[in-house]
Amino acid sequence: MTVFDDYLNKHLSEVDKARADFLRLHPSLENVMGRDVISPEVDVLNKSLAYLAAKVEQKIDQSYPDVILKIFDLLAPEFIRPQPSATILNFTPKERVMLSAVTINKGTQVFSSQEGANRNVIFTTTDLIKVPPLSLAEVATERKNHKVKVVLDYDVLEGAVFSLADADMRFFINRQLSQAYSLYYALFNKSVSVCYIINGKKIPATIKDYGSNRFNLKYLDRECSRINLFQEFISFPERFLFFEIIAGGKNITIDKNFYIEIIFDDRNNDVVDIDIDTFILGCVAGINLEKATAIPIKRKPGTSQYPLYIDSYDESYSICDIKRVRSFTVTDGVKKDYQAISLIGDKVGGAYEKVTALADKCNQLKFSLRFPSDDLSDKDEEEIIFTDLEVFHTTAYERMALSSVNKLGDGAPACFNVKNITRISEPLLPDLSGDSLWKLSGCFSGQYFNIETKDGLSKSIQSWKSFIYHGSKYQAIINRFVDSIKSVNRKLSAFPYKDVILNGVDIKIEVNGSKFSDKGEMYLFFNILKEIMFDRVDLGSLYRLLITDVDNMVDMLWTNIK
């Protein structure tokens, strides 16, 4: 007996049952369809019907995965077809089309053809950008006497005239993350001279950070059914890799070619070479609306000021050529009562993919700090020990970011806890030495957190003891840590710090006379370290992105902790 015989016998029984039910309603046909007197024609018809039904059911069972995939492809394509969740969009002016600076508004829809698919990916810009009518003709790098001079030679498009006041000279550092961070650090710590050279005249300029608070995704909250996904977008590393070069006189009108000159102090010979694709003008972060909302989105006419296209743009409608510089794919890890860890892995060519590892795969996590002192041996490093709670996992190439999902509600960043702390294996910025990182942070930690797992995360959620860092040798560093906490207090009004108490060599933090405990204290601890290690980041702005009601954040934490 074959597998098909089982399907056939099943449907023959169903047909026989249906025949009996039919005869009860139509007894006059008993002489034609009765069990003992059924005609050959009716018998063949019944068996043919059963045969076809058996074939269909067998085909469905054998092709079940394909059928389900096709259904999901119609209802929720982002679950079965890889799509970039976010991207860096580059708007390049068209020759003889763009004759002045053009404003691309926040929320502009951008279409990208996807390989192997019959539909476009819809990106929307997360910030307003004013694209100047420029093209980069050449980049020259000259090294002499421990200094590096970089000259960016820009051509004004034919017939174009614009003012620096009407354009964004905003650059994206298009390098692999380690090199990009190195250049980012050099721009803000090793540049000794920055100027525009227009008509042979040097105009002093300054380099300004264009960080996380600018790419505000909150405007999409009303459309998004998965707010937590947007919290993850906010922490992708490229948000640190934008900067602006602002001229002293912004009302300067430009109609001819000009130069931008940057001189670095390169005594340690660690400024990497800069080529024509390193600093890119006209870039902005874009979010894949369809993936973020989990429903197909049809473009509404009039939504965008310009119908812009990536890859297969329409020549008659697009004022810019557009390309995806770097994309990110996010896999939703909301599973098992929100116990999930997120990690960003470094991919070839500088692309990143965000993946998740579920909390039931591991039971232990460990990481450590190392102070930048040459006279300290490995034995001088101390440990901070916590018991289990939700845990945040990151690779060596990602900064500490509170972006995963937790039990505190959709509006709040996650609170995490760790179990054991041991020596870290490598710094977050592998191209920078401990001393360089010390200068970068200005106050704490010679290296960044590198979290590695042993068997993974713990399933259980328990309380933990308040953190205490021991080590009398580090009193000067502790003092700097205290100063940094006070600096955080000035920037983050959401946390009403009462005082920071030094008890010998131990540090304890009190808020309104009560010590933070459980998730709340770990939340405070991590965010203080984030502010210290990235002192250019305005965490107050970051919280305003993540939390709807900042004023009630502390009360919300305590309510959920209890």
3-class secondary structure per residue, 439-467: HHHCCCCCCCCCCEECCEECCCCCCCCCC
Could you tell me how far CA 481 lies from the centroid of its own chain?
29
Integer Cα distance of 420 and 442 in angstroms? 27
Q: Give the distance from CA 433 to its chain's centroid.
A: 26
Gap between the Cα atoms of 182 and 437, Å rounded: 10
pLDDT at 80: 56
217 close to 234: Cβ distance less than 8 angstroms: yes
Locate the domains of the chain by residue range. 3-62, 77-329, 333-561
Give the 3-state secondary structure of residue 352.
Answer: strand
Residue 366 CA neighbour count, 13 Å, CB half: 12
Residue 261: per-residue pLDDT = 94
In this prediction, residue 259 carries a pLDDT of 93
Residues 6+ apart with CB under 8 A from 362: 453, 454, 455, 456, 457, 458
Q: List the one residue out of 450, 270, 437 whose CA is nearest residue 369.
A: 450
- With beta carbons less than 8 A apart as the criterion, state whether 399 and 535 touch: no
Confidence at residue 155, expressed as pLDDT on a 0 to 100 scale: 92
pLDDT at position 243 is: 87
**Residue 85 confidence (pLDDT):** 61
pLDDT number for residue 457: 29
Give the pLDDT confidence of 406-421 residue by residue, as tens digits: 222 232 222 222 222 2
pLDDT of residue 105: 78
pLDDT value at residue 195: 93
Global pTM value: 0.44
Give the up-direction half-sphere exposure of residue 251: CA atoms within 13 A in the CB hemisphere. Answer: 0
Give pLDDT < 70 ranges for the chain.
1, 37, 63-86, 111-121, 177-178, 211-240, 249-250, 288-562
3-state secondary structure at position 140: strand
Based on its alpha-carbon atoms, the radius of gyration of the chain, rounded to whole angstroms, reads 31
How confident is the model over 432-456, as pLDDT tens digits? 222 222 211 212 222 222 222 223 3
